[in-house]
Structure 1
Amino acid sequence: MEYTVIYGSNGAKRMSIKREGSRYRYDHETKRSRYEGAQKKVILPIFEPSGLLELESHQKKGIQLKHVEPKDAISPHDFYKKLKVPKWDQIRYELVVYRKGVKGEVSKTKLHDKSCYIIGRGLGQSLRRFESDGEEIILADIPIQEESCSKEHCAVQFRQVGESLIPYLIDLDSSNGTCLNDSAVPSARYIELKSSDIIHVSEDPNDSDYELIFLAV
Structure 2
Amino acid sequence: MKGESRPDHVWGKKNGTTEEEKKPPAENKAKPDFGLSGKLAEETNMFNGVVIKYSEPPEARKPKRRWRFYPFKGDEDLPTLYIHRQSAYLIGRDRKVADIPVDHPSCSKQHAALQYRISSYSKEDGTKGQRVRPYIIDLESANGTYINNVKIEPRKYVELFEKDVIKFAYSSREYVLLHEHSKDDGDDDNVME
What interval of TM-score do these two structures reach, taking the shorter chain for normalisation? 0.5 to 0.7
* Cα distance in structure 1, aligned partners of 2:57 and 2:140: 17
> Residue in 2 aligned with 1:132?
none
CA drift of 1:145 comes to 2.1
- Matched-pair contact (CA < 8 Å) for 2:113–2:137: yes
| CA offsets 1:39-80 (integer angstroms, 9 cap, x no match) | xxxxxxxxxxxx65444211112211011110111111xxx4
- Matched-pair contact (CA < 8 Å) for 2:167–2:173: yes
Higher RCO structure (Cα 8 Å, ≥6 apart): 2
> Residue in 1 aligned with 2:67?
93
Q: Which amino acid aligns with 2:102?
A: I
> Residue in 2 aligned with 1:148?
106
Q: What secondary structure does 1:107 align onto?
A: coil
> Residue in 2 aligned with 1:62?
49
- Matched-pair contact (CA < 8 Å) for 1:96–1:212: yes
Question: With structure 2 as the length reference, what TM-score do the two structures score?
Answer: 0.64
* Cα distance in structure 2, aligned partners of 1:188 and 1:151: 16
Aligned length: 135
- Matched-pair contact (CA < 8 Å) for 1:179–1:185: yes
* Cα distance in structure 2, aligned partners of 1:55 and 1:190: 22
CA drift of 1:156 comes to 0.8
- Matched-pair contact (CA < 8 Å) for 2:50–2:97: no
- Matched-pair contact (CA < 8 Å) for 1:138–1:151: no
- Matched-pair contact (CA < 8 Å) for 1:177–1:201: yes
- Matched-pair contact (CA < 8 Å) for 1:197–1:214: yes
Match of 1:103 among 70, 76, 79: 76
Q: What secondary structure does 2:107 align onto?
A: coil
- Matched-pair contact (CA < 8 Å) for 1:55–1:68: no
Q: Which amino acid aligns with 2:155?
A: A
Q: Tell me the C-alpha RMSD between the 2 structures.
A: 2.0
Q: Tell me if 1:215 matches 2:178.
A: yes
Match of 2:139 among 162, 172, 186: 172
- After the TM superposition, which residues 166-205 of structure 1 pair with which residues of structure 2 at under 5 Å, given as runs? 166-202=133-169
Q: Which amino acid aligns with 2:58?
A: K
* Cα distance in structure 2, aligned partners of 1:108 and 1:190: 24
Identical aligned pairs, as a percentage? 34
Question: With structure 1 as the length reference, what TM-score do the two structures score?
Answer: 0.57
| CA offsets 1:93-146 (integer angstroms, 9 cap, x no match) | 01122112x622x23111222110111126xxxxxxxxxxxxxx5321111221
Match of 1:161 among 94, 101, 119: 119
- Matched-pair contact (CA < 8 Å) for 2:48–2:97: no
Pick the structure with more helix per residue. Answer: 1
> Residue in 2 aligned with 1:5?
none
- After the TM superposition, which residues 77-92 of structure 1 pair with which residues of structure 2 at under 5 Å, given as runs? 80=64, 91-92=65-66
* Cα distance in structure 2, aligned partners of 1:115 and 1:54: 20
* Cα distance in structure 1, aligned partners of 2:132 and 2:149: 25
